[in-house]
Amino acid sequence: MPVDGRLVRGDATRRTVLKRAADVASVEGLDGLSIGRLAAELELSKSGVFALFGSKEELQLAAVRFAGEVFAASVVGPTSEVEPGIGRLRALCENWLDYSRRRIFPGGCFFFNVGAEFDARPGKVHDAVADASRGFAAFITGCVQEAKDLGELQADVSRLAFELHALGRAANADAVMFGGTEPYDVARACMLDLLTAAAA
Amino acid sequence: MPVDGRLVRGDATRRTVLKRAADVASVEGLDGLSIGRLAAELELSKSGVFALFGSKEELQLAAVRFAGEVFAASVVGPTSEVEPGIGRLRALCENWLDYSRRRIFPGGCFFFNVGAEFDARPGKVHDAVADASRGFAAFITGCVQEAKDLGELQADVSRLAFELHALGRAANADAVMFGGTEPYDVARACMLDLLTAAAA
DNA sequence: AAAGTGTACGAACGATCGTGCTATTGTTGG
DNA sequence: CCAACAATAGCACGATCGTTCGTACACTTT
């Protein structure tokens, strides 16, 4: 099966552009992205970068998809190696705090920043970001439900999920804004408390 | 008492500009502000608006200060009418959720959006936003401490404050992103649970 | 070999940005 | 009355934005 060398090359540069775009957007926002600046930093031509995506909005959407892959690979994916139940739930929390603390994106959690940026605007980018956020919230809820079904904890599922979600986001926000890693420690302690308090 | 009519006039238009600026920034961010657009919407000249603030950064800083006044008047101020202790703490939570739900700023909490926008950038605007955030966090912590000192609850003060802060921010984020008011109900229930669980 | 397609470039476009400069107008204090 | 001053307007600037167009090259398909 012969691969098309043109498409391979295109996808390669697309990915380098998207990596940089996601990194920049985690700090300056998806609107702070400029095609010209991306091109200059990567030593490509502005029109070349533009042609790879067709429009700035498509570039933004592609950046959201790319960041979603990174997030899934860092936070969600590794939980499948842990037995379902309270253990997996704990692993999810750890992975998430680690993903933010280790600055996989230089501006902290990509979806926290971009979510706040597009939460009140209409359009495709909002919808894409909202879908991603909803998906992650649903995954947390699913893990909590799983642990409850296994009889490992008894709690209001959606409320516990909301609390865990809230703690993680707050830790990211405070740590990025003020520096230091203490918010992660506080959030983690709160999360563990919540889980042990709900343990059956 | 002589008042300078020129300064009065200037301050008046400054305030109308700042109100609009804060409203826009709560949706599009402080970087999404443009002096020309503000001037057009308010039927002023671009150079006139510019001259009132001297630079875009000064306009942004003034908008942060203005939003701080609004926030203080909506959330923090009214708590002084409630007796210190758990009652004041509860009022603080209610005020805060109400301030977000009633969309005092059309994009939800001004400081949530602007905080996420500037959390990872250096500069005066970051510092101003960080100071405001720190101040509010300190106020929450102070109220918790007060309630503890009065013997009305026993808890790890900074941790309880962090949890309440996290719940409020999460409620604002979800409600603005997805619409509806359910996140406020969930957050409020969680807050009350936390307070009654810690009640002495 | 020819035709077609995807990547990449350079140049140019209209629009908008922040920011100067130069009035003009209305208010103040001497 | 007059000189100083603040608010506001008009105009122009250089820069940057997203986008379009024409073109050159690499590669695939026929």
Q: Is B108's CB within 8 Å of A119's CB?
A: yes
Q: How confident is the model at residue B32 (pLDDT cuts 50, 70, 90)?
A: very high
Report yes or no on B74 lying in a domain: yes
Report yes or no on A120 lying in a domain: yes
Report yes or no on B22 lying in a domain: no
Q: Looking at CA atoms only, how far is residue A173 from chain B in angstroms?
A: 7
pTM strictly above 0.85 = yes
Q: Does residue B47 reach within 7 angstroms of strand C, measured from its CB? A: yes
Average pLDDT of every residue of chain B = 95
Average pLDDT of every residue of chain A = 96
Residue A79 DSSP label:
G
- Note the pLDDT of residue A7: 81
Range of the domain at B116: 57-198
What six digits make up the tokens of A168? 């993680």
Sign of CA dihedral A131, A132, A135, A136: negative
Q: Any idea which residue has 């409600």 for tokens?
A: B175
Residue B100 · residue B175 · CB < 8 Å: yes
- Per-residue model confidence as pLDDT tens digits over A160-200: 999 999 999 999 999 999 999 999 999 999 999 999 999 87
Query: Percent of chain A having pLDDT more than 70?
Result: 98
Taking the Cβ of residue B135 and every Cβ of chain A, the question of whether any pair is shorter than 8 Å is answered with no
Report yes or no on B34 lying in a domain: no
Backbone φ and ψ of B120, nearest 5°: -105, 10
- Per-residue model confidence as pLDDT tens digits over B120-156: 999 999 999 999 999 999 999 999 999 999 999 999 9
- Note the pLDDT of residue B1: 45
Taking the Cβ of residue B68 and every Cβ of chain A, the question of whether any pair is shorter than 8 Å is answered with no
> Which CATH number goes with the domain that contains A72?
1.10.357.10
Report yes or no on B169 lying in a domain: yes
Distance CA A195, CA A188 (A): 11
- Per-residue model confidence as pLDDT tens digits over A150-168: 999 999 999 999 999 999 9
Report yes or no on B49 lying in a domain: no
Taking the Cβ of residue A51 and every Cβ of chain B, the question of whether any pair is shorter than 8 Å is answered with no
Angle at alpha carbon of residue B57, lines to A36 and A27, rounded to 5°: 50
- Note the pLDDT of residue B3: 67
- Note the pLDDT of residue A10: 79
- Per-residue model confidence as pLDDT tens digits over A67-114: 999 999 999 999 999 999 999 999 999 999 999 999 999 999 999 999
What six digits make up the tokens of B105? 């700023």
Residue B3's alpha-carbon distances to A62, B8, B15, B16, B143, in angstroms, are: 57, 8, 18, 20, 39
Count how many domains chain A has: 1
* Residue B168 CB burial class (10 angstroms; 0-12, 13-18, ≥19): buried
Residue B24 · residue B39 · CB < 8 Å: no
Strand partners, B199: B153
What six digits make up the tokens of B65? 């200060």
